[in-house]
Amino acid sequence: MVDFSLSDPDRAVLDGVAAEAKAGEKYARHYDDHEEEVLPKSFPEASGFPPIQQRLRGRSGHDTPMLVLQVLMRIEREAHCGVPLRQPPTALGNAALDAAGTAVQKARWGHLMLAMSITEPGAGSDTKAIQTTARLDGDAWVLNGDKIFVTNGVRCDGTIVWATVDKSAGRGGIKSFLVMKGTPGFELVRKERKLGIRASDTAAYAFRDCRVPRDHLIGGDESVPRGEREGSASYKGVLKTFNMTRPFVAAGGIGKALGAFRFARDRLAEAGIVVDVDEGPTCRSAAAQALLDIEADIEAATLTVLRAAWLASQGKPNNLEASVAKAKGGELCRSGPQRAMEALGAMSLSHDYPIEQYLRDGRITDIYEGTGQIQRLVIAREILGYSSEELT
């Protein structure tokens, strides 16, 4: 039977995550205003909260699957307009290493914080159009190209870089390489200045005749498949990681809408506007109706991410559901905070209140890890039965 309820231990985990996220609110504006700064590894307040691994101990097999709980934790974290009190030790590149690296590579580099360098100034959604090249020269790969929008690119120890070893081979020629910070020819060009999520560092890189050892090719397979639709093993491996990260990204956007909703609800309650669901729509104020609309939308979006995460936790395919969740979350993080701001009026624009930051921070949800348009393309292919060649 379908059951969306949470066990008591799950509830306790989420409450703990919420309390910790709330403690991080005091730093939010500082890092929003000082984008040039990078967050410390941990803030003093972190010592007041147990590490997440400790929280998760003692959960039984009857509790919510881990992947689903992670999504719920993300929603709760993002619903607080704060910064993480502890920085996670890993980044997107670690997921790629896990998905496509050899056992030796995982053992060697798994403890490092690895960013992921895919996007280029001229290649975003169209990943196969990347121009960064890797050429084998003796016992080294020589990388040349520019990368942008590298999340955690300033603080990471190194990065996984997508580059093509043979442009004529299309996707098949795209491989990924580990490049450590400090490698000659690898330059951190700048820290990007963004509309939102300014506490998250985003970097631009340049690679100029950057030599990395031959065994830094992730997965180790130097062959270039021809005429294969899906590309090399490491390309496929990385794309596969999106099926889990998309619901997770959507959860971030839902959290922003939820935070804006809670703030608006509490402020309106102070002004005497409380939603009464028994009251007919003709008796309800526009502000109360706005709250109801936003709440319903949050609920719907949350269910889509929970389903996508649950399918992944069961080892079932979730390509369609992950994209549905991402598309829905991407919409919600725009509409939810906007409507909440309207209910509150011009005060929403002051930095004395968090609500405008929810809109700015949430806005990225519909862009990164596949734009809303790309998600719709994925959904269309799935429900119409087309391949990526047949429907572009």
Partner 1 sequence: MNFACNETDDILSETIARFAAEELRPRLREFEAAGSVSQDLHTRFEALGFVAVDLPEDLGGAGLGLTTRLQINRRLAEADAGAALALDRLGPAAYVIEAFGGRDLLKRYLDLLAKRPEMRVALVIDPDVISAPKSSVRGEAAWIASGCADVLVGLGRAGAWLLESGFVIEAVRGAALHAAGSSRVRYDGRPAHAWHDPSSVARALAKIRLYYAALIWGVVADAAGFSRRYALDRVAFGKPIAHHQALAFLIVDMHIVVERLGLLIEDAARRIDAGEDGAADAASAFIDAIEASRFVGPNAVQILGGHGFMRDYPVEKAMRDCRALGLLGGGLDAAQDDAGAGLASAKSQELAA
Least distance CB 354 / partner 1 (angstroms): 11
d(CA 171, CA 228): 8
CB 269 within 8 A of CB 287: no
Q: Return the DSSP state at 274.
A: -
Q: Is residue 360 a contact point for partner 1 (CB under 8 A)?
A: yes
Q: Is residue 78 a contact point for partner 1 (CB under 8 A)?
A: no
d(CA 50, CA 60): 19
Look up residue 186 and give its two tokens. 């690898």
Dihedral pair phi/psi, residue 4, rounded to 5° = -100, 10
Site string for partner 1, 192-221 (x = CB under 8 A): xxxxx-------------------------
Residue 127 or 144 having the CB closest to partner 1: 127
Strands 202-213 and 140-151: antiparallel
Query: Which member of 352, 384, 389, 390 binds partner 1 (CB under 8 A)?
Result: 352
Dihedral pair phi/psi, residue 211, rounded to 5° = -95, 125
CB 259 within 8 A of CB 348: no
Least distance CB 45 / partner 1 (angstroms): 23
Residue 306 or 344 having the CB closest to partner 1: 344
Q: Applying CB under 8 A, what is the total number of residues that bind partner 1?
A: 49
Residue 192 or 228 having the CB closest to partner 1: 192
Q: Tell me the window of 83-91, 96-104, 189-197, 216-224 that interacts with partner 1 (CB under 8 A).
A: 189-197
CB 123 within 8 A of CB 141: no
Residue 131 or 183 having the CB closest to partner 1: 131
Query: For residue 80, which amino acid is it?
Result: H
Dihedral pair phi/psi, residue 230, rounded to 5° = -90, -10
Least distance CB 53 / partner 1 (angstroms): 33
Query: Which member of 1, 2, 283, 286 binds partner 1 (CB under 8 A)?
Result: 286
Strands 140-151 and 158-164: unpaired
Residue 111 or 351 having the CB closest to partner 1: 351
User: 369 an active-site residue?
Assistant: yes
User: In which element (H, E) is residue 204 found?
Assistant: strand 202-213
Q: Tell me the window of 13-21, 124-132, 158-166, 169-177 that interacts with partner 1 (CB under 8 A).
A: 124-132
Q: Is residue 265 a contact point for partner 1 (CB under 8 A)?
A: no
Query: Which member of 141, 149, 162, 248 binds partner 1 (CB under 8 A)?
Result: 149
Q: Is residue 159 a contact point for partner 1 (CB under 8 A)?
A: no
Residue 116 or 306 having the CB closest to partner 1: 116
Query: Which member of 56, 116, 123, 312 binds partner 1 (CB under 8 A)?
Result: 123
Among 324, 318, 327, 319, CA closest to 371: 327
Name residues contacting partner 1, limited to 266-285 (CB under 8 A). Answer: 285
* Residues with Cβ within 8 Å of residue 358, at least 6 apart in sequence: 81, 256, 257, 259, 260, 263, 337, 340
Least distance CB 284 / partner 1 (angstroms): 12
Local structure of 337: helix, strand or coil:
helix
Dihedral pair phi/psi, residue 142, rounded to 5° = -110, 115
d(CA 359, CA 195): 10
Q: Is residue 386 a contact point for partner 1 (CB under 8 A)?
A: no
Query: For residue 238, which amino acid is it?
Result: V
Query: Which member of 87, 119, 232, 234 binds partner 1 (CB under 8 A)?
Result: 119
Q: Return the DSSP state at 189.
A: E
Catalytic annotation, pick one of 331, 369, 382, 390: 369
Query: Which member of 324, 356, 378, 379 binds partner 1 (CB under 8 A)?
Result: 356
Q: Which residues are known catalytic residues? A: 369
Q: Which residues bind partner 1 (CB under 8 A)?
A: 29, 33, 119, 122-126, 129, 148-149, 192-196, 285-287, 334-335, 338, 341-343, 345-353, 356-357, 359-360, 363-364, 366-368, 371-373, 376-377, 392
